[in-house]
Amino acid sequence: MTVVAAQFQPGTFVDAIRFIVDNFGMLFHLAVEQLELSFAAIGIALVIALPLGLWLGHKHRGLFFASSVANVGRALPSIVLIAFGVVFFGIGFWNNTAALVVLAIPPILTNAYFAIDSVDPDLVEAARGVGMTERQVVTQVELPVGLPLVIAGIRIATIFVIATATIASIAGGGGLGDVIVNQASYGLSGVVGASLYVSFLAFGAAALLGLLQRAVSPRPIPQD
Amino acid sequence: MIVAAGPVIPNFGQGTSCEVNNGTFCVSWVEEHWHDTLWPALVQHIELALIAVAIGFVISFLLALAGLRYRLIDAPIGYWADFLYTIPSLALFQLLVPITGLTTLTVEIALVSYTLLVLYRNMVEGLRAVPPDVLEAARGAGFTRTQTFLQVELPLATPTIMAGVRIATVSTISIATVAAFVLPKGLGYPLFNALREDTFKTEIFAAGALAVALALAADGLLHLLERALTPWARRVRRA
């Protein structure tokens, strides 16, 4: 490994900012690449996990399944998933996408399950009482009420996926990780600059989803 | 960087035919390298995670006490912990390198940072959920403030706190694999080497399985600890 042993170098952060400014085009290109990979993975994970979580939550079935998925998902280290992805799919787009999808499913599935499962039963009963079909109960009552928690799950999945997509560059995933793992070419200032960049990216995505979560959360009812 | 394709020759052509041909799982390699590669990595991994969770626990506990006492700082602490949590692990390790170098300290600072969110939240929630009636009763029974905290509030909050400890421990074991980028320690290191050595499958599966097994074992042990700490919870359930 070509790593320069570094002592305390506060100047590195100044150099890192300079690196970001000087290499704006390249970093932007890599950021787009990383976001493409991340969104593809989150999109696929949503298609798989969201309907399953909502359905299980609606039926109040699969509590053990939902919590097991969460526990096992948390125990799977991202590098292990990426390495397994390389073994099973070889180097390319799919090894990393598969690893990221596996990583994104647990928080989305578990939160969707608990979001719907915990909706007030009286509310659901009332919805059925006014003649709503099961489908309407899910889409017009349970989903709106559980939406903040569902989005919280998507937010956690997004944080995981962007973080792991950074690591995915060791398996040909591209993105800003290409700079972070290549100190030989970009120097410590490049590594730190790309790390700052990817941190802003992750923070931005998390903040957006946090705002969305807040926007769909019910306002507290005024006391008077 | 990994270069795929071509014959895979780990150990420069030494070893059994399974190893030379990069078979799916070569028991011979695991037997040969258990003592010089896998076992040391496992021990280092446990050390990294244990230290991080212990320090994270102490910091979160102090922050939770402060947050409960002074409500004003509760939200800022939560936001700060959440902010740290959003930073990608590889980036956080690298951002600390100019400050603390390629050291265990760098790794521990990052790992501790990730434990704060779940530990702090669960501690505050657990302690806040103690019913006021119960506190009233304790005060009525002549408990001092410290006694109330140690003998009433803390035991009642233990299940929530332990849930946080379990999540934090499993996550830390998982994230500690990424530490291999800045430190040749832990189970991430053999994984990393295997990826660079033309994807040597045996090492990937062995180290990967150890990491997952360690996380699940830690989760199970902490679950047992939680039950030992809250014997009344079982008694109530049985009744």
B79-88: pLDDT as tens digits: 999 999 999 9
Q: For A195, which of B95, B178, B187 is closest by C-beta distance?
A: B95
CB-CB under 8 Å, A171 with B2? yes
pLDDT of A8 reads 60
Contact B216 A84 (CB under 8 A): no
Q: Which chain B residues are within 8 Å of A211, Cβ to Cβ?
A: none
Distance from A97 to chain B by nearest Cα, in Å?
17
Query: Do A25 and A170 touch, CB atoms closer than 8 A?
Result: no
Question: Which of A104-113, A188-197, B230-239 has the weakest average pLDDT?
Answer: B230-239
Residue A195's nearest CA partner among B105, B110, B70 is B110
pLDDT, tens only, A149-188: 999 999 999 999 999 999 888 888 888 988 998 888 888 8
The amino acid at A25: G
Give residue B236's pLDDT: 60
For chain A, the structural domain boundaries read 11-216
- Is domain A11-216 in CATH 1.10.287.70, yes or no? no
Establish, for the pair of chains A and B, how many residue pairs have beta carbons separated by less than 8 Å: 150
Q: Give the distance, in angstroms, between the CA of residue B74 and the centroid of all CA atoms in the same chain.
A: 24
Radius of gyration of chain B (CA): 23
Calpha distance A191→B128 (Å, rounded): 42
Q: Is B3 or B10 the better-scoring residue by pLDDT?
A: B10
Considering only CB atoms, which chain B residues are within 8 Å of A74?
Answer: 167, 170-171, 174, 215
d(CA B65, CA B63): 5
pLDDT in tens, A12-52: 888 888 898 888 889 999 999 999 999 999 999 999 999 99
Q: How many CB atoms lie within 10 A of CB B90?
A: 31
Residues whose CB is less than 8 angstroms from the CB of residue B169 and which lie 6 or more positions away in sequence, other chains included: B49, B53, B215, B218, B219, B222
CA-nearest of A64, A105, A99, A71 to A85 is A99
Is B105 near chain A, with CB under 8 Å?
Answer: no
pLDDT of the residue at B165: 96
Is residue B84 less than 8 Å (CB to CB) from chain A? no
* pLDDT above 90: percentage of residues in chain B: 59
> Hey, are the CB atoms on A180 and B90 less than 8 Å from each other?
yes
CB nearest to B95's CB, from A9, A75, A196: A196
Q: Note whether B177 and B187 are within 8 A (CB).
A: yes
Which of B94, B175, B222 is the best substitution to test chain A (most A C-beta atoms within 10 A)? Answer: B94
Confidence band (pLDDT; 50, 70, 90) for B3? very low
- Give the separation between CA B145 and CA B208, rounded to whole angstroms: 48
Q: What's the whole-model pTM score?
A: 0.87
Check if B109 contacts A (Cβ < 8 Å): no
User: What is the mean pLDDT of the segment spanning A90-95?
Assistant: 80
Chain A residue with CA closest to B171: the answer is A74
Predicted confidence (pLDDT) at residue B214 exceeds the cutoff of 90: yes
User: Helix, strand, coil shares of chain B as percentages rounded to 5?
Assistant: 80, 0, 20
Helix (H) or strand (E) holding A146: helix A143-167
To the nearest 10°, report the CA torsion of A81, B175, B173, B38: 60
- Domains of chain B, start order: 43-238 (1.10.3720.10)
Name residue B196's amino acid: R
Measure the CA–CA gap between A54 and A150, rounded to whole angstroms: 9
Mutate to test the interface with A, among B2, B90, B167, B175 (most CBs of A within 10 A): B90
Contacts of A180 in chain B (CB under 8 A): 90-91, 94
Mutation test of the interface with chain B: which of A27, A78, A80, choosing the one with the most B Cβ atoms within 10 A? A80
